């Protein structure tokens, strides 16, 4: 009997623990919301006079720009709020606020970041306005990745699984190009981008960037750049332009990049993602998380920025780039888009020798939602021109040219894989102005390309199609929305 009572005791105890655990979820969200409200009130009462009602600074510094001059870590920020710092004129509040209140206040300050960080305002309503009409141009592709036109109604298309397909007179040829390189098609790797030489009509060079297995069948892989000519539907005269050192081939399935573009000075640019080795994006002796620049025949340009460092990869042009998914050189500006983690997809202007900060600074968080880094800014690290939080999964990038979309000439086209969108980004020189969605919901957008006819071609994954976009004609004026943040 006594033993029985003991068991009942344990049972009740367990039931209580379970009930508490169940209650914790909603209760803690409620609690967090209450704390947030209290903190907002506390902030307005005690801090706003000096740090600004929107936390953007006044007599005291901005608390939302990601720059922490005095206090860097969360405990340090709590300490300065409690004890103050006479030297800089920051009063202490330990006599007015409990340590719990201070902790909540710091959480509150941290949570202000995303709202302040999102720069873009998107006129989502514009999709319904019929800015563009879309029709299927090519169908029946297996996860297409890159598209390049080789003439009117002629194109080359990469399929991630490894085939290079040809479109002739608007028809997809059944047979892929033969003898293309063996690719490692797994995870985020495979046959990636395709491009043609700016002097293609004279020299016939076709460039491919892809996930290369170290040996045939090996799962140690790295992004590789080659060029060759297509003769009798066969890949011939291949030249290797970039291959990583064998010891830098790794088993990671992630973040290969990659896109290709050319400037008007004889260079080819391409990007490689961090391969999931995020800290190595800051390491010039490693090829991960970089934008590279080569001469079109693979030679190293004499003015590449890191030639003085004998241990650095000489082809590195910029670093701290997480996973480049869009790259286009236009009018003297090299634009790049890259995937952030959870949040913080970036639009960058790539400049020689510049550090884009990954993973030291980022507007994103870990996929789990926890803090990846407290910093969005740091000396010596470049800010994105714009960034998307939450992530739209930027993919593919081109610039509008030609007569068909005259009013949009010079604007960027940004694909969004996850959001299944094409966005039109208005820029001014190398500055971001505004953006709007011009296509949504047709499929995962892998690439966007201007066609020689001036139409916009959208490469979709699921379904594996290329769409052709022409002006919709139902709006009086085809200009992107220019409204500033009206929040």
Under rule CB under 6 A, residue 374 binds ligand HEC: no
Cβ closer to ligand HEC: 46 or 433? 46
Regarding beta strands 456-461 and 465-471, do their DSSP bridges make them parallel or antiparallel, or are they unpaired?
antiparallel
Window of 4-12, 44-52, 306-314, 392-400 that interacts with ligand HEC by CB under 6 A = 44-52
69 lies in the site for ligand HEC, by CB under 6 A = yes
Interaction of residue 61 with ligand HEC, rule CB under 6 A: yes
> Binders of ligand HEC among 427-466, rule CB under 6 A?
none
Strand order in the sheet with 333-338: 324-330, 333-338, 345-349, 386-388
- 50 near ligand HEC (CB under 6 A): yes
Q: Of all helices (H) and strands (E), which one includes residue 35?
A: helix 2-46
Q: How far apart are CA 379 and CA 429, in angstroms?
A: 24
Interface residue with ligand HEC among 35, 39, 51, 420 (CB under 6 A) is: 51
Nearer to ligand HEC, 95 or 247 (CB): 95
Catalytic residue at 255? Answer: yes
Cis peptide before 390 (omega within 30 of 0): yes
By CB under 6 A, residue 46 contacts ligand HEC: yes
Q: Among the candidate windows 11-19, 67-75, 298-306, 325-333, which touches ligand HEC by CB under 6 A?
A: 67-75
CB of 60 to ligand HEC, least distance (A): 3
Assess contact for 357 and 67: CB atoms under 8 A.
no
DSSP 258-270: --EEE-TTSEEEE
Q: How far is the CB of 81 from ligand HEC (least distance, A)?
A: 5
How many angstroms separate the CA atoms of 148 and 259, rounded? 12
Chosen residue from 70, 115, 124, 240 binding ligand HEC by CB under 6 A: 70
Contacts 24+ apart (CB under 8 A), 420-423: 420/444, 420/445, 421/392, 421/445, 422/448, 422/456, 422/458, 422/469, 423/122, 423/392
Q: What angle do CA 171, 176, 178 make, to 5 degrees?
A: 145
- Alpha-carbon gap, residue 456 to 439, rounded angstroms: 11
379 contacts ligand HEC (rule: CB under 6 A):
no
Q: Does the footprint of ligand HEC cover residue 71 (CB under 6 A)? A: yes
Which one is catalytic: 51, 212, 248, 255? 255
Residue 108 binding ligand HEC, by CB under 6 A: no
Residues recognised as catalytic: 255
Interacting residues toward ligand HEC by CB under 6 A:
46-47, 49-51, 59-61, 63, 68-71, 77, 80-81, 88-91, 93, 105
């Amino acid at each position: 009997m006594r033993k029985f009572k003991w068991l009942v005791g344990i049972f009740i105890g367990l039931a209580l623990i379970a009930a508490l655990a169940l209650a914790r979820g909603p209760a803690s969200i409620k609690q967090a919301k209450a704390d947030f409200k209290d903190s907002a009130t506390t902030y307005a009462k005690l801090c706003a006079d000096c740090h600004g009602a929107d936390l953007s600074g006044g007599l005291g510094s901005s608390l939302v720009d990601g720059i922490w001059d005095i206090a860097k870590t969360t405990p340090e920020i709590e300490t300065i709020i409690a004890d103050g710092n006479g030297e800089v004129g920051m009063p202490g509040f330990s006599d007015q606020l409990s340590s719990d209140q201070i902790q909540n206040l710091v959480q509150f300050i941290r949570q202000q970041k995303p709202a302040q960080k999102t720069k873009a305002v998107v006129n989502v309503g514009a999709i319904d306005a019929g800015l563009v009409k879309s029709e299927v141009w090519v169908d029946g592709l297996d996860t297409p990745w890159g598209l390049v036109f080789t003439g009117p109604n002629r194109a080359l298309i990469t399929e991630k699984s490894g085939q290079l397909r040809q479109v002739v007179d608007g028809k997809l040829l059944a047979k892929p190009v033969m003898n293309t390189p063996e690719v490692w098609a797994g995870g985020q790797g495979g046959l990636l981008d395709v491009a043609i030489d700016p002097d293609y009509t004279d020299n016939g060079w076709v460039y491919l960037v892809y996930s290369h297995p170290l040996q045939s069948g090996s799962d140690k892989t790295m992004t590789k750049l080659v060029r060759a000519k297509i003769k009798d539907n066969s890949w011939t005269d291949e030249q290797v332009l970039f291959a990583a050192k064998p010891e830098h081939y790794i088993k990671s399935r992630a973040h290969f990049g990659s896109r290709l573009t050319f400037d008007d000075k004889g260079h080819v640019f391409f990007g490689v993602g961090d391969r999931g080795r995020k800290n190595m994006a800051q390491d010039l002796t490693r090829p991960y998380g970089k934008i590279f620049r080569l001469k079109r025949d693979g030679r190293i340009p004499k003015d590449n920025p890191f030639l003085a460092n004998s241990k650095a990869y000489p082809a590195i042009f910029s670093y701290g780039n997480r996973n480049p998914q869009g790259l286009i050189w236009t009018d003297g500006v090299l634009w790049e888009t890259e995937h952030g983690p959870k949040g913080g997809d970036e639009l960058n202007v790539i400049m020689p020798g510049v550090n884009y900060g990954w993973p030291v600074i980022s507007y994103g968080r870990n996929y789990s939602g926890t803090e990846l880094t407290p910093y969005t800014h740091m000396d010596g690290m470049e800010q994105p021109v714009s960034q998307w939080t939450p992530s739209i999964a930027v993919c593919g990038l081109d610039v509008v040219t030609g007569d068909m979309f005259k009013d949009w000439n010079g604007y960027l086209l940004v694909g969004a894989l996850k959001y299944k969108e094409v966005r039109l980004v208005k820029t001014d020189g190398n500055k971001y102005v505004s953006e709007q969605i011009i296509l949504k919901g047709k499929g995962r957008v892998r690439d966007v390309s201007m066609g020689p006819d001036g139409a916009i071609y959208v490469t979709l994954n699921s379904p594996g199609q290329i769409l052709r976009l022409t002006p919709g004609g139902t709006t009086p004026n085809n200009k992107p929305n220019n409204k500033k943040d009206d929040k």
